[in-house]
């Protein structure tokens, strides 16, 4: 059974960037097979990992809805969709990528979440590690896209709104009875030390701080891949030191 790391956080905190860097580090450490899942409808993870975005779950669902005749005779619709999703998994160098995307049809978004959840239940068995970049905010939790995770990694900045959102994410995960073994908080793009009072009382274990990094900002502005980030990046080095506490299965 794969080890699931679910990323969450307020929009603009750099959640997808950290997800991409985490996949890069795990790949470089050669700790096992990795599936990176972009469960955010805004779909930026593939590009952040240096891959060209191809078929998404949303596009597959739209295609089936518009052309039901493509479903082979005698094959159930759900099984055909599952097959199409399996073929849509992009094979990278040291990791694979699956992208949810945003379906166009009315009411299709909830269905896309249900499909992703059902497919994930099967795919998790095929990989040693699964990193899920969830949609920003709380909606993905209320829809229960993620029902179970070994790690809930909540990304925040040092602002009050960011930390408040991080605390609420953890609270909601508990209210919804999502099974989580480790709940971790990471402060991203920090320019200094974090006051302990700001994170006191959270139902999250404070993992550490990732410093602001101009090299990452430049890559993001240019729309380049986090795989292009130089190995001497201070943010990458810092995440590398914290990584063992994230992907360690013990």
Q: pLDDT tens across 12-30, in order? A: 899 999 999 999 999 999 9
Mean pLDDT of 87-99: 93
Asked whether the predicted pLDDT for residue 151 surpasses 70, the reply is yes
Is CATH 3.40.190.10 the right assignment for the domain spanning 3-247? Answer: no
What is the band of 211 on the pLDDT scale with cuts at 50, 70, 90? very high
For residue 113, give Cα distances in angstroms to 107, 158, 180, 202, 209.
Answer: 11, 31, 19, 28, 32
- What pLDDT was estimated at residue 123? 84
| Residue with more model confidence, 199 or 244 | 244
Q: pLDDT tens across 39-76, in order? A: 887 888 999 999 988 888 888 888 888 899 999 999 98
Q: Where are the alpha helices (DSSP H) in 181-249?
A: 196-199, 214-222, 234-247
What is the band of 159 on the pLDDT scale with cuts at 50, 70, 90? confident
- Could you count the other beta carbons within 10 Å of the beta carbon of residue 115? 21
What is the band of 201 on the pLDDT scale with cuts at 50, 70, 90? confident
- What pLDDT was estimated at residue 43? 82
The secondary element (H helix, E strand) that includes residue 107 is none
**Tokens in use for 67?**
């052309």
* Strand-pair partners of 206: 185
What is the band of 197 on the pLDDT scale with cuts at 50, 70, 90? low
Spatial separation of the C-alpha atoms in residues 204 and 41, rounded to whole Å: 26
- Could you count the other beta carbons within 10 Å of the beta carbon of residue 169? 26
- What pLDDT was estimated at residue 172? 84
- What pLDDT was estimated at residue 154? 95
Asked whether the predicted pLDDT for residue 141 surpasses 70, the reply is no
Asked whether the predicted pLDDT for residue 84 surpasses 60, the reply is yes
For residue 159, give Cα distances in angstroms to 116, 162, 166, 174, 198.
Answer: 32, 5, 11, 23, 9
| Residue with more model confidence, 171 or 29 | 29
**Tokens in use for 111?**
């269905």
- What pLDDT was estimated at residue 246? 96
Domain extents for the chain?
3-247
Asked whether the predicted pLDDT for residue 8 surpasses 60, the reply is yes
Asked whether the predicted pLDDT for residue 108 surpasses 90, the reply is no
Q: pLDDT tens across 239-249, in order? A: 999 999 999 98
Counting Cβ atoms within 10 Å, is residue 129 exposed (0-12), middle (13-18) or buried (19+)?
buried
């Amino acid at each position: 059974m794969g080890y699931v790391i679910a990323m969450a956080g307020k929009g603009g905190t750099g959640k997808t960037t950290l997800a991409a860097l985490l996949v890069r580090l795990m790949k470089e450490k050669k700790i096992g097979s990795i599936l990176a899942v972009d469960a955010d409808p805004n779909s930026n993870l593939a590009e952040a990992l240096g891959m060209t975005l191809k078929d998404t779950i949303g596009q597959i669902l739209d295609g089936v809805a518009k052309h039901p005749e493509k479903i082979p005779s005698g094959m159930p619709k759900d099984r055909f969709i599952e097959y199409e999703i399996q073929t849509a998994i992009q094979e990278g160098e040291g990791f694979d990528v699956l992208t949810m995307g945003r379906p166009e049809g009315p009411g299709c978004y909830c269905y896309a979440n249900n499909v992703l959840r059902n497919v994930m239940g099967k795919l998790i068995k095929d990989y040693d590690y699964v990193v899920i970049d969830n949609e920003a905010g709380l909606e993905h939790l209320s829809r229960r896209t993620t029902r179970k995770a070994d790690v809930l990694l909540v990304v925040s900045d040092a602002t009050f709104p960011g930390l408040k959102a991080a605390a609420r994410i953890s609270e909601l995960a508990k209210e919804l009875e999502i099974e989580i073994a480790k709940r971790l908080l990471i402060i991203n793009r920090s320019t200094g030390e974090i006051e302990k009072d700001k994170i006191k009382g959270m139902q999250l274990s404070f993992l550490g701080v990732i410093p602001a990094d101009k090299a990452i900002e430049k890559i993001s502005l240019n729309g380049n891949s986090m795989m292009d980030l130089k190995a001497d990046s201070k943010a990458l080095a810092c995440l590398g030191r914290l990584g063992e506490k994230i992907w360690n299965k013990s």
